[in-house]
Amino acid sequence: MASKLTSREKNLLLLCVAVLVLMAGMILAKQFLDRRAVALEKIVTLQRQKAENDGWAKEQPFWDKRRAWLAAKMPATESLGRAQGQLLEDIQNEALEWGIVAEQPSLPPLSTTPNPAYREVTVSVRLRGDQATVLSWLATLQSPEKFQAVRELQIEIDTRAREKTPQVICNLALARCCKPETGMCATPSHLP
């Protein structure tokens, strides 16, 4: 025997169904809002990335020109050890031309650079000479055209010197960069 629902039971049933529908709607709304927040965050990140990429794209001719210059001018040789020896010889010869005494040369161990675009060799040497001459010569060492950079420099007045002009002692560490194609570097042919 089936009995009919009273109006109170019908109201309670409708209320239960309404609560279930409301709960399902709230769960779906929360999922939608969470997904929307993630999507909006991703959109903001992508817009920032696009703006950055647009900036790089505008500068591409500048960087292409620089990349072509590096490809044409950056030196190369058969071995890093030979390149390091060549750099030391160049420093000693230049110092001699300037009337500067080069002492205690050392060849630090060869290491790899974190940048795959170039390799680097470094030499260290102690120099003695007239203060003005040493400073003038040091100013000529670091330049993009020579692919050289001063890595370490310590200068002190030589208090034991007997010359009338001020004398200095200089500890210098100089690095030279080269192409990665052969993995080596040397003095470019257009440099002294």
Q: Residue 115 above 70 pLDDT?
A: no
pLDDT band at 117 (very low <50, low <70, confident <90, very high): low
Picking from 123, 111, 128, the residue whose alpha carbon sits closest to that of residue 86 is 123
Instruction: State the pLDDT confidence band at 127, using cuts at 50, 70 and 90.
Output: confident
* Residues whose CB is less than 8 angstroms from the CB of residue 185 and which lie 6 or more positions away in sequence, other chains included: 74, 75, 76, 77, 80, 83, 118, 119, 120, 121, 147, 176, 177, 178, 179
Residue 46 confidence (pLDDT): 95
Whether 74 has a pLDDT exceeding 90, the answer reads no
Tokens read off for 106: 């050392």
Would you call 144 exposed, middle or buried from its count of C-beta atoms within 10 A (0-12, 13-18, 19+)? exposed
Render pLDDT for 141-161 as a digit per residue (tens, 0 to 9).
877 788 888 888 888 887 776
What is the model's pLDDT at position 121? 81
Q: What is the dihedral of CA 71, 122, 152, 96, to 10 degrees?
A: -100
Least confident of 36-45, 78-87, 108-117: 108-117
Query: How many alpha carbons fall within 13 Å on the CB side of residue 54?
Result: 6
**12-28 pLDDT, tens digit each:** 999 999 999 999 999 99
